[in-house]
Amino acid sequence: MVHPYAVAGFLVALLPLIATPGASLALLVQHVTDSGRRQALPVVLGTVTGLYIHAALAVAGLSALVMRSSVAFTAVKVVGAVYLIGLGLWTWRGAGANAPAPARRRLPKGADSVFTQALLANVLNPKAAAIYLTLVPQFIAPHQPFGGQILTLATAHALLIALWLTAWTFLILRASHALRRPRFKRTAARATAAVLITVGIRSAVT
C-alpha cells in the first residue's frame, strides 16, 4: 500500500509533465474538433491503457531492459518517432482545403481507431516508460511488494491524466461555435499535426 503522501507527491511531480502539450492532447483536440465529444473517450481510454501497459512492463522488468539496452531503446524511439511523424503528416494532409470532410476521412489501414492512435502514441513513447523507471521508484517503499504499489501509482496517474483530458474536452466544447468553422478545423488540424511531428522528432533526437 502506497502512503497517501507518496501518492500526492507523485501527482505533484507529474503535473508539469502532464501539462506539457503532447500527442494525447493533440489527438484529443483533433478528434473532438472533427467529430464531437464522443471522440474524447477513446483518446482518454487509449492513453490510460498505455499507462497501464508501461506500469505492467515496469513490474515485469521489461522496460528496465529496454532502457538499459541502447539498441532496444533506440529501436523503441525510432518506431515511436516514425509513428508520430507519420500520423502528423497524415493529419496535415487531411487538413488541406480540398480534403474530404472530417467525418469521412480514413486513416491508413491498421490505424483507423482513435483508441489505437492514442494507445500507440503512449506505448511507443519511451519517455512515458521512463516515468515508471525513474520517477515511480522515488515514491514506493522497498520493503513492500512492488506490484501493488506501482499499480496504485499508475491508477493515480491514469485518473489525473483522464481529468486533464476531460477538462480540455469541456474547454474545446465551450468553443463549439468556432470549432464548426472549416477554417478553424483546418487550423486546429495543422496545429495538431505540428505537435505530433514535433513530439516525434524530439523523441527521435533526444
| CA separation for the pair 136, 55 (Å, rounded) | 9
Closest to 206 (Cα-Cα) out of 87, 126, 120: 126
Q: Are 25 and 165 in contact (CB under 8 A)?
A: yes
Q: How high is the mean pLDDT of the chain?
A: 79
How does residue 100 score in pLDDT terms, banded at 50, 70 and 90? very low
* Sequence ranges of the domains in the chain: 4-16+23-205
Q: What is the pLDDT of residue 165?
A: 95
> What is the mean pLDDT of the segment spanning 103-112?
44
Q: What is the pLDDT of residue 178?
A: 59
Identify which of 3-17, 88-102, 166-180 has the greatest average pLDDT.
3-17
Q: Are 202 and 88 in contact (CB under 8 A)?
A: no
Higher pLDDT, 38 or 102: 38
pLDDT at 77 exceeding the cut of 80 = no
Q: What angle do CA 72, 110, 83 make, to 5 degrees?
A: 40
Could you please report the per-residue DSSP string of the chain? ---HHHHHHHHHHHHHHHHS--HHHHHHHHHHHHH-GGGHHHHHHHHHHHHHHHHHHHHHTHHHHHHH-HHHHHHHHHHHHHHHHHHHHHHHHHTSTTSPPGGG--PSTT---HHHHHHHHHHT-HHHHHIIIIIGGGGS-TTS-HHHHHHHHHHHHHHHHHHHHHHHHHHHHHTHHHHTSHHHHHHHHHHHHHHHHHHHHHHHH-
Q: What is the pTM of this model?
A: 0.72
Closest to 128 (Cα-Cα) out of 203, 185, 74, 198: 203
* Residue 122, CA distances (Å) to 9, 50, 73, 158, 186 in order: 23, 5, 15, 12, 25
